[in-house]
Amino acid sequence: MKLIFLQNSATQPRCHKRFRSFVAAGCRNTEVYSFNRNWYNVNLPDDITIHSLGELRPGSYLNRLLLYIKKLRPIFKQNRDAVFYCYGQDMAFVTSLFGKKYVYEESDIMYLEYKSQFMRNMMKKLDLFIQRRALASILTSQGFVDYLYGNKVPDNVFVLPNKLDGYFSDKERPQRKVYDMGALKFAFIGLLRYEKMISAFIHVMVEKNPKHEFHIWGDGGENQKRWEKEICDNYPQVHYHGPFRNPLDLHSIYGQVDINFVCYDTNGGNERIAEPNKLYESTFFNTPIMVSPNTYLAKVVQERGNGFIVDCHSEKSIKQFFDELTADAIDEKVAACESIAKSQLIDNVDDIRKIIGIIS
């Protein structure tokens, strides 16, 4: 079996990790094709040959589908018997239009961001149609499964959370840090977004204790970069470190972080049911995580006890977080992280082998 991976971003670490896991599980006849987004170029992998499909610019859904059809048609013609591993609904939809066998991985349900209930319902029906036709559908959050299927989950649907790259299999987890409660270091690590949430938190943080710091690692679009520069100019406590290499730089980054800020904006539906990789990164590095309430992520964090739940839409909630923050509370969260075995935090090749057996 030849397995061809189709990505919409050449620098997405999750896609690189998945490819490596399939190779480690015994899938050797592979190729990777991807569009370029022109950000996070430090994440272009040295160990994976990626054939470029050209630049993918922001635009309408229809224009994106037409671009996919144009770029993918010759690949489909040259690989009539291959199985295609598609990241995202639009890539899988185009592949299905050509009648090809495919695996579908969904890491975000972006149509939940649509304001129109009619459009959300239509796109959900399309999503379910694409998943039913797939050899296997891989969802990265149990929250997605609950939303899409409830208790009636098809046999071809699998949950593979966005855990750490196998790179960390032989890496030691760090020792417990010594915290300076008078000068804590908070951080946002990843694609630059959720500016309102971060700004609100920083404002209260500085007001409560100007010795606390907020560090940002990541990259993003022009609007996000302008915001990053502005907030760094306004607050000397904020430090921007630029893009980073995932997984290579994570050990160094988390070594400088006391609490990981993962309070995503929950006005959109996707964030309420997603399970981001920061959950597994933070736990591996024994770093407490901050998350938004009324989310699937908050449910997991509450069950595991490895983080704080803070509503960054509310200044009152942020102030309450700082008022109640103690060394004992942080130690309790760190201990919860330490109690979770490393094997539960890293991509499991055995899960991939099961999927290979189904699609072969």
Res 40: pLDDT:
82
H or E element at residue 120? helix 117-133
Q: Which two tokens stand for residue 75?
A: 């690949």
Q: Could you tell me if 333 and 305 are in contact, meaning their C-beta atoms sit under 8 angstroms apart?
A: yes
Res 86: pLDDT:
98
Q: Which two tokens stand for residue 66?
A: 């037409």
Domain ranges of the chain: 3-163+346-359, 169-343
Res 59: pLDDT:
80
Res 249: pLDDT:
97
Q: Give the position of tokens 């990789």.
A: 277
d(CA 354, CA 26): 11
Res 211: pLDDT:
98
297 burial level (CB within 10 Å; 0-12, 13-18, 19+): buried
In CATH, the number for domain 3-163+346-359 is: 3.40.50.2000
The fold adopted by the segment(s) 169-343 is: Rossmann fold (3.40.50)
pLDDT tens track of the chain, all 360 residues?
A: 999 999 999 999 999 999 999 999 999 999 999 999 887 889 999 999 999 999 988 888 889 999 999 999 999 999 999 999 999 999 999 999 999 999 999 999 999 999 999 999 999 999 999 999 999 999 999 999 999 999 999 999 999 999 999 999 999 999 998 899 999 999 999 999 999 999 999 999 999 999 999 999 999 888 999 999 999 999 999 999 999 999 999 999 999 999 999 999 998 899 999 999 999 999 999 999 999 999 999 999 999 999 999 999 999 999 999 999 999 999 999 999 999 999 999 999 999 999 999 999
Res 185: pLDDT:
98
